[in-house]
Each structure stands twice: as C-alpha cells, then as structure tokens.
Structure 1
Amino acid sequence: MAVESKELNERLQSLHRANELKLKAIPYMNRKEKIPTGFLLKDEYLQSRDRILTTFKATLEDWENWHWQMKNRITDLQILQELLPLTEQAAQDILEVGRTYRWAISPYYLSLMDSSNPWDPIRLQGLPRIEELLDLTGEEDPMGEAFTNPAPCITRRYPDRLIINVTNLCAMYCRHCQRRRNIGETDSHETRAQLQAALDYIRANPEIRDVLITGGDALMLSDLTLHWLLEELHSIPHVEIKRIGTRVPVTLPMRITDELCSILAQYPPIYINTQFNHPKEVTAEAKKAADKLISAGVVLGNQAVLLKNINDTPDIMIRLNQELLKIRVRPYYIFHAKHVKGTHHFIPKIENGLDIMEKLRGFTSGLAIPTYIINAPGGKGKTPILPQYLLSLDDEEATLRTWEGNIIHYPNY
C-alpha cells in the first residue's frame, strides 16, 4: 500500500506540473493564430501571383523560371502601381528615395505583399519609405569591411575563417541591407581574376578552414561560375567547409533548380545560411527550395535580422522559428540590425531582443532558439547577448535563474 500511495502521489504531482505547463502554453497558442504565415496565406499568394502574371502576360512556366523572375524585377514606380495599390504619398516617397537608394523586387516577393496593409512586414522590407532619407545617423560601412579585406573580395574578421564577396546582385534589395553601399546603380559580379586572387590568398593561409561565399547574394552567380568556385575551394586541403550566404529561398525560391543542386551535391560539406525574417516568408515555395537543398546534402540555417515593426516581438519570433523548423531550416542567429545609414527606422531596442530570448527559452524547443548577436562596430566580430541566468559563481556554488524565474543553488564541483 505504501508503494501504491507513493506512485499515486508522484502521478498527482506530475499531473499538477503538466497542467502548470499547459497553462503557460495556452496564451501563446491563442495569440499565434493572429500571426500570418506563408502557408496560411497560400490562397492570397496564388491570387496575387496570377494577377502579376496577367499584367506581365506571362505563364506559370515563366513564373517558375528564375531567369524570368530576375528579368522582370520590379524597378519602375509605374509598373509597381499597376501591381500594388499605393497612396499618392507612398508613391512619391518611393520616387524620392529611389533617387538616392536603389530598389528592386522580384515578382515572387511582391506576390507575398498585403495590398491593403501599408505596415505589412513584407512591404516594409521591400518597398522604400521616406524614413530612409529622414535620419542620416549611422554609417555606410559599420562593419569596417573596407579595413578587413587583405585581398580582393576578401573580408576577414576571425582567425580561421573569412568571406568572399562575389557580387552586388540580389533578387531583391532589402531596405535594411548592411551592404547597401555596394548596390550601386548597376549589377556586377566580381571578375574571375579577382576571385582567383581571393582563392590564392586562401591557399597561402592554411589556418583558413571555413569559407563563406556571399555578396550581394552568392546564388546570383551563374551555375558555371559557382561550380568553378566551389571546385577550387574543395581542392584546397585546409578548407574544411564551404558556406553560402543567400536570401533566394526567401525572395526567389525558383533559383534552387535541380541543376544548381546537382552542383552543390558534388562539394560537401556545404552549409547555406539564409534570412527569413517573418513567418509570412515561410511558404510552400520556400519549403520546395529547402527540400531540394537538403536532398543535395546541404545543411540549412537561418540568420534573421531583428527589425523594428517587423519581427521585434516574442510571438512573431517564436512563430517564425517554429515555421522554419517545419521546413527543416535551423534558426542559427538573430542579428540586431546594424547602424547602416538610411536604416535607423528598422533598429529596435536591445531590450526587445533580450525579451525575445527570455520568451523563447523554455517556451519552445532548443532547436528553435538561435543566438542573439550584436555585431561589434569596426569589424570586431559577433558578440552574443543573452539574458542573465548565472547570477553568481564562487568556488562552492553557482546561483542560477531558471527560465521560469526560479532561483537555484548548484554545487560547483
């Protein structure tokens, strides 16, 4: 009887604890239904896609062709107004900002925009706003990349890894871009000679074991050039992994072709970090692209940028990261928006980022919890920012705060 009583008491305590946890989960479950995702808005996407195709007199086959998407990027205000209702003031602002900062949007990404909501997170990322001209604080190159390039195309901030910047071309020019100074007025890839010089630098420095190919968007390179570059890197004995920085799974998933994937599959290990910033960007098309990349042996991660009025709340970030895990993209970083000239209106408070990290820990799986990062100015590197869980530490014990706020004393031996 004593054993049965003990088991009953344990079960009652377990049920009580389970109910406590359930009550913690319910508020978010109720709120998340108000957060749109790409999968929930599929019908709206299809309607918008068909409207764009009609305007361009194009076919579904055209839509799935990434070359068609690039050829028909929206860069003209008149065409934009045919595709998306704009107020007279919004149109004038786009025209004025466009005189200083270039803009371009792929037809696909435009199709994700809510035509009735000027504060739609997709519109905020893709359409110029007059705020870009109102606050001139910030720097053109806050990361100090001009002072960390020991060879053509190279950015080096760490002992064992570096970046090759291969192009200024993107499927869409995000309004918060950290390298908007490089966009210019024309699209251009780095020359083969410049890329060869970067490869020569890597070969001459055997401590470099990790190379990130980025831009612009690395997957804007032709298959031929990308194949050559990956082959060259793969042939360098001390280069252990190749990484690719790209936003095309978000802005142009059609770029992930079978031909591209067959190239990527030849040069493992390849890691691709992309940038989903809002659950609306996680669509069936993005999943199709992710599935292809995973089948090619690519490991996928996400580097979200924390952006004011777009994703700077715990609910949106939880929803985003859970949606990403459903398409097998692992949340990797949340970057605090950098102080780039013309982007001040996107920069949230650091407290917002810490609050998000507080609400992620314990309320969702560790797989859905990225590292919150502030990039130190001047190319000093990534600095992780975390809520304070270690309250004190001495030779005898550590005092810790749990995700629920409980204080515990843990022996230090």
Structure 2
Amino acid sequence: MGRACGGLCASCQRMYDFQRGNLNFDLDKLEPTEKWPAKLERLLRYYEEDTQLRDILITGGDALMSSDKSLKKILDAVYEMAARKKQRNESLDDGKKYAEMLRVRLGTRLPVYLPQRITNDLIKILTEFKDKASKIGIKQFVIQTHFESAMEVTPEVNQGIEKIVKAGWTLTNQHVFTAASSRRGHTNKLRKVLNDIGVITYYTFSVKGYMENYHNFATNARAVQEQLEEKRIGRIPQKYIELIKTYPLNASHMIDNINYLRDQEDLPFLATDRNVINLPGVGKSLTFRTIGITRRGRRILKFDHDSTRTHSPIIHQMDEVVIVESKPIGEYLRQLEKMGEDSKDYDSIWGYTIGETESRFPVFEYPKYKYEITKEFSNLKI
C-alpha cells in the first residue's frame, strides 16, 4: 500500500527511520523498480500459494490513505485471489487442502485523524466487498485502528465509526502504551469509551525501547502491572466465551452485543485486549524474565515467544532475545510525577519482574474449517 500515513505518531518507529535516513525523500531512491499491478499480483500469489495463511492485513502506511478507486482495486484483487484458492481446494483431499481466506483487515488511523474520510462512497465499497466475499467463505471483516486517548473520540469520530459498524465491519483498537497513556486508569477509560461506540480492544502495545523513544517509553513492568491490577475489572466470565466468538460474525450489532455482556455482568468494559510488546525475532509477547539490571537501573529482560499460539518451526533455530530497557523504573515514575501523578500509586511496580502473555481472546479466533487442512508449512526459509 505504500508509506503514506495520515500523521506521524510520536511512538511510531517510522519517525526514527526518517531521522536515520532509512526512509527518505530522495526521489531517485524511492522510484519503484516494479509496477504496482505486477507487485500486487506477486504479493497475492504468495497468499494464494501458502498452505496456512488465512488472514490478510492491508495497511502500509495507512489503508485509507488510498483513494477509493485504488482501495477497491486492491479489495477486488483480494477477492479474486481468495476465490482461486477456494476453487483449487476443491480438487484436494482432506488433510491436503490449503487454508482458505477467512479474514480481511484494513489497518488505519484515519478514523481518528480524519473521520471525514469515512464517506458514503467508502462505505459502499466496504459493503459491496463484504457481500461478495462472504459468499466465498470470508467471514471476518475488520478495521484495525489506533486510538490513544478517550479524548480522541469526538462527535465526528463517533459518526464515522457508526457508519462502519452498520456496514458490518468489526472495529478493533491497538493502543500504544506510551508513558502518558500508561497513567493509572487512562487505558481503562479508553476501553470503556471505545466499547460505547462499538470498538473492541485488540492489543495494548508497549513502546519499543529505542533510546530515541526514551520519553515515550513505559516500562514492561508497568504493562504487567496494568494488566493484573487495572484491566482485570473488565474480565469476562468463562461462560460467555462461546457467545463472544460470534460477535465478529454479527458485526453490525456490535454495540448491542457489547452492551448486553456489560449489563449482564456489570462490567465497565470488555477486557478483550492483550498487553504485549512487538519484538523482532519474538513477535507479540509479554513473556519475559528479568535477568539483570544495569548500573543506571535499566532492567535487562529475556523474552520468549507467546506460548499460547502456534508458531512456525523456524523459531527453534533462533537465539534467545534479550533487551535492555531504555528507561529505569525510577526515571519513569519521576516522569509520571511531572505529569501530576502520585508515584505512591505505582509502588507495586517494582515487584513485577516476570511477565506472561495472555491468551488471545476468543473473539479474535479464526472460525473453524469444515475440512482438514494440510499440516505442511510454506515459506520457512530465512
């Protein structure tokens, strides 16, 4: 989709790529070596020929930075790829069949930056794609967005989100856990306000610990503290697990479905998101152990993969991932005090030296196939 984005978030690693020159405006270097139609065909062929892929994320950049015409072409190409994959499966026996496409996602922050982008023409494109893609087995249609604060939910945002919900697309949120947004109660308030307008929370991401990101970094101990001490008030009882799995299949009724569950259990919000950090070589995980500390107080953490999910066998050939956090806990707490917080409210943070990744919430699970797919993996070479 390209690099175009509606803004440059302070926590986004692209900002540091620009500073380092990895991303630049040298038009000669940026000139594509491959025409977009050929590249799109090549990328979708990868999906079509892969044995396990069933979920495609269209982002960039930002998916909604594309024009309606361009976005429609991409969605049409995705539909055609999914149809070919499904047709090919008809000639394969059970146990040999490939995973067919089940989910299509668009990654965008424009509903926050520029909710006016959600026009009737865009909704028509999304609705028409959903209608025809549903007939070939695609079941989940998702807009992934990035709200950082409840204050970003304006009347204009509410109107735009309402259109998407009525079109039958599920809205999920990935919240970046910056120092400012990591203050007590901030993330819970965001969860509640998003649920009010029909958005379910997906991830609460810790900021990558680059030294350039020092100001925005909230320690991983704080992420574990938030997970165990604050998010728990929205925990959904086990008896509703099968019910909530159906929510993405009835996305146009998302607000009513969320409110039903909140009313039944007197919950302020549905705690459907996982607190994680996204690390090269590990992926999304909060499974770590503190193995040391520098003389300046920065914790040294050894990370492991999320044990609740299936991974490529390639992980067994990889080394352990050890990071040194960019900020000591003491400095983080002093930073919160400058924002008006009482550091005593965070006293228990010092005891969180181990983290464990939460299981992916059932609302985000893939629907089951009615046939057995192959156990073979494609594209394992690194």
Matches for 1:13-412 after TM superposition, within 5 Å: 166-180=1-15, 181=17, 184-185=24-25, 191-235=36-80, 236=82, 237=86, 238-268=100-130, 269-308=140-179, 310-340=180-210, 342-364=212-234, 366=236, 367-378=270-281, 380-384=282-286
Q: What is the RMSD of the two structures over their aligned residues, measured on CA atoms? A: 2.5
**Contact 1:219–1:246 (CA<8 Å) still a contact in 2?**
yes
SS at structure 1 position matched to 2:25:
coil
User: Per-residue CA shift, 1:196-229, capped at 9, x if unaligned?
Assistant: 2111221222421100011111111111111111
**Contact 1:325–1:368 (CA<8 Å) still a contact in 2?**
no
Distance in 2 (alpha carbons) for counterparts of 1:249 and 1:206: 34
Structure 2 gaps, min length 5? 87-99, 131-139, 237-269, 289-382
Distance in 2 (alpha carbons) for counterparts of 1:384 and 1:265: 36
Tell me the amino acid that sits aligned with residue 220 of structure 2.
I
SS at structure 2 position matched to 1:230:
helix
User: Per-residue CA shift, 1:152-200, capped at 9, x if unaligned?
Assistant: xxxxxxxxxxxxxx12111111121133327533898982322221112
Shift of the 339–215 alpha-carbon distance from structure 1 to 2, 3 Å rule, reads farther
**Contact 2:150–2:190 (CA<8 Å) still a contact in 1?**
yes
**Contact 1:321–1:331 (CA<8 Å) still a contact in 2?**
yes
Distance in 1 (alpha carbons) for counterparts of 2:41 and 2:66: 15
**Contact 2:188–2:231 (CA<8 Å) still a contact in 1?**
no
Distance in 2 (alpha carbons) for counterparts of 1:347 and 1:377: 17
Distance in 1 (alpha carbons) for counterparts of 2:23 and 2:192: 32
Tell me the amino acid that sits aligned with residue 317 of structure 1.
T
Shift of the 315–368 alpha-carbon distance from structure 1 to 2, 3 Å rule, reads same
Distance in 2 (alpha carbons) for counterparts of 1:285 and 1:368: 25
User: Per-residue CA shift, 1:107-152, capped at 9, x if unaligned?
Assistant: xxxxxxxxxxxxxxxxxxxxxxxxxxxxxxxxxxxxxxxxxxxxxx
User: Per-residue CA shift, 1:265-293, capped at 9, x if unaligned?
Assistant: 12233111101011111111111111011
The match for 1:57 is none
Greater Rg by CA: 1
User: Per-residue CA shift, 1:292-331, capped at 9, x if unaligned?
Assistant: 11111110110001001x2112311111111111111111
Tell me the amino acid that sits aligned with residue 383 of structure 1.
S
Distance in 2 (alpha carbons) for counterparts of 1:302 and 1:360: 18
TM-score by length of 2: 0.53
SS at structure 2 position matched to 1:303:
strand
The match for 1:86 is none
Distance in 2 (alpha carbons) for counterparts of 1:227 and 1:186: 29
Tell me the amino acid that sits aligned with residue 118 of structure 2.
I
Shift of the 240–372 alpha-carbon distance from structure 1 to 2, 3 Å rule, reads same
Shift of the 227–217 alpha-carbon distance from structure 1 to 2, 3 Å rule, reads same
Shift of the 328–365 alpha-carbon distance from structure 1 to 2, 3 Å rule, reads farther
Shift of the 242–348 alpha-carbon distance from structure 1 to 2, 3 Å rule, reads same
Distance in 1 (alpha carbons) for counterparts of 2:75 and 2:66: 12
**Contact 2:208–2:279 (CA<8 Å) still a contact in 1?**
no
The match for 1:103 is none
SS at structure 2 position matched to 1:273:
strand
Distance in 1 (alpha carbons) for counterparts of 2:64 and 2:196: 23
Distance in 1 (alpha carbons) for counterparts of 2:286 and 2:192: 21
Moved over 4 A (4+): 186-190
SS at structure 1 position matched to 2:201:
strand
**Contact 1:244–1:271 (CA<8 Å) still a contact in 2?**
yes
Shift of the 270–341 alpha-carbon distance from structure 1 to 2, 3 Å rule, reads farther
Identity over aligned residues, as a percent? 32
Q: In the TM superposition, what is the alpha-carbon distance from 1:363 to its structure 2 partner?
A: 2.5
Structure 1 gaps, min length 5? 1-165, 387-413
TM-score by length of 1: 0.50
